[in-house]
Chain A
Amino acid sequence: MKRGYFGSFGGQFIPETLVTPLGELEREFLGAWKDASFQKELRYYLENYAGRPTALYFARRLTEKFGGPKIYLKREDLCHTGSHKLNNALGQVLLARRLGKKRVIAETGAGQHGVATATAAALFGIECDVYMGDEDIRRQALNVFRMQLMGARVIPVHSGSKTLKDAINEALRDWVTNVAGTFYVIGSVMGPYPYPLMVRQFQSVIGIETRKQILKKEGRLPSHVLACVGGGSNAMGMFAPFYNDRKVKLIGLEAKGAATLSYGKIGVLHGMKTYVLQDKHGQISETHSISAGLDYPGVGPEHSFYKETKRADYFPVSDKEALEGFTLLSKLEGIIPALESAHTIGYLPKLAPRLSKKDIIVICLSGRGDKDADSVRSLVPVKGQP
């Protein structure tokens, strides 16, 4: 396979100025990944700070509700800061420290990656700037405050659709400008190589733990593994360790208004060749999802490869279905999921009735929903609401 590619996807479609830092990053990451002292330090923070391993929880009432397959939840919502994003942010900020960088930047959509990066930066005393679209600042106000509380600067992005895509554009412009002293912490399995590989490796802890935990609990592998896909980092972290278990069906759920793999065409965006939502002239589409974290017209190139080779299937889930998943999990299990993760629950009414009691579904519950409470309040009727 060509360097930096997953099949025919990935690569480095970038300004020349980024060639040198990406080469530096690739060498540092590949070196660190094989370095026992780096692994030891990363493991230390994952266990003692992030709270890993996260639980694999048997969702009894959710299972009873559908009356078929056993349903397990991988509780990434219990990870410190409230989502899986910290797994990657810790890894990258440790790398930034190894490289002697004094400043990190990040883009964020839902704010979870921004919060995770701000957290890791605070932990190691590194300056942190986070780019966030105006529209997302409005709908994720709580996360903006959390980042600021930890000393990060949140820089509003007014261009384009004012969401994740535009925050990435601005972060890339910052990086191209301040390339010598700045480390760009990309939040998903996207962007130019080596980011898709590196972020997948940092997130693989999700799937590695899940595989061990389900074997211990059930003595066998799950029949289905579900995860939501925006850029696709929680999904890739969950899927990759099951890649060779060909009987395990991998299912990615996209937001219907931003369903890149379901409705997109192959193109080039943010440094990678991958599926992209675009018009016939090659202009990138503006996406619309209730969930800021899935509101992205591109997708990590390895997902494009999984789709092309049919290793995984990807389906769109509507805002309405996601909201139903959001309330269903809250009521049945006492777990308020992030709107992103709620897309997986929202897909269960289509999947579970087709399966038997012998099947096991594992869902990557990538984050908790506190951040979404404000924006969902007006959409979800609650008893006793004044």
Chain B
Amino acid sequence: MNRLEQKLNELHSANRKALVVFITAGFPDMETTLATMEALEKAGVDVIEIGVPFSDPIADGPVIQASSDAALKAGVTLESIFALMRRARQKVRIPVLLMSYCNPLFAGGFGQTAKKARASGVDGFIIPDLIPEEGKEIKAACDKNNLSLIYLAAPNTPAGRLASIGRQSGGFVYVVSLTGVTGKRKALPQDTKEFLLRTKKEIHRPRFLGFGISNAEQAGRLRQYVDGIIVGSAFIELLKTAKTPRARAAKAARFASSLRRSIDMEEHNARTSKHR
């Protein structure tokens, strides 16, 4: 059992929803990423996703695209991310997943990538341009290294396929809230609730919702339909507003705490109402 599976078990027994935060590796620098990871854990974040920058991020909106470009210009590579992970693991205990497009993971051979990822303290991969049909070899290498390979589900995924993704995904299923790219939205589509209820019926595994969620209010409203909430672009925007790694990490931690509170709100309400 890796850290992710352990964490999912804990969340399940405590009947708690997960808070997952995405940040781009090395944006705006590696010290910020390291300090932010530590601060996020203290603020009650359950899982951290580290974005591996890529030159052609087709599933990302402008904010993550720009952070990815900046990280590449600063010289971030998979190797430097593994080095960062080894440092982070001196303090950070929560699961860390790498979110990466296929090509950077394949460049050195995926078998090697998986081995190095495991050794550096990574717990799994989210690969936005990999569907289960193309993932058999990747999955085998992940299994061999005790890494989770998380697949994604989309609003236009038919019922039978949702179930199949649920069976094949490692740990949880990344439920994409809308058809589109990452980045904040004023409002999610009208039929989001209906879609999420459909995923609940078909997927017998924790479902974490991402894409388009950027504030505590949205997170609080959507939490009841899923098992976890993923926030990314909003954190990247926040990191731009401070000048030092520590100040950036502190801002990220404050935002994470506010998300945490709104996600936990209903557990609190539920518990108090039971006591009555």
Contact = CB atoms under 8 A, between A and B. Distances in A.
Interface of A: 11-17, 19-21, 159-160, 165-166, 169, 172-173, 176-180, 265, 267-271, 276, 278, 280-284
Contacts of A160: 55-56
Category for how many chain B residues contact A = 35 or more
A15 B103 contact: no
Interface in B102-158: 102-108, 128-131, 133-134, 151-158
Given A177-B179, A284-B55, A15 B157 contact: no
Contacts of B65: 159
Given A17-B156, A19-B157, A179-B156, A281 B181 contact: no
Contacts of B176: 15-17
A13 B132 CA distance: 10
A12 B134 contact: yes
B54 interface: yes
Interface in B205-259: none
B156 A177 contact: no
B162 to A, nearest CB: 10
A166 B65 CA distance: 12
A270 B57 CA distance: 10
Contacts, number: 109
Q: Which residue of B54, B101, B104 has the most chain A CB atoms within 10 A of its CB atom?
A: B104
Contact of B179 (A180, A270, A282): A180
Interface of B: 54-59, 61, 65, 69, 72, 77-79, 101-108, 128-131, 133-134, 151-158, 161, 165, 176, 179-181
Interface of A is mostly: mixed
Contacts of B61: 173
A173 B131 CA distance: 17
Q: Which 4 A-B pairs have the closest CB atoms?
A: A282-B107, A282-B104, A177-B180, A17-B154
B116 to A, nearest CB: 13
A283 B55 contact: yes
Nearest to B105: A282
A269 B154 contact: no
B102 A169 contact: no
B17 to A, nearest CB: 23
Contact of B56 (A20, A169, A177, A180): A169
A229 B128 CA distance: 29
B154 A15 contact: yes
Contacts of A11: 134
Contact of B129 (A268, A276, A280, A282): A268
A16 B58 contact: no
Contacts of B69: 159
A255 to B, nearest CB: 19
11 contacts: A13-B134, A15-B176, A16-B153, A16-B154, A172-B58, A173-B58, A176-B179, A281-B107, A282-B106, A283-B54, A284-B56
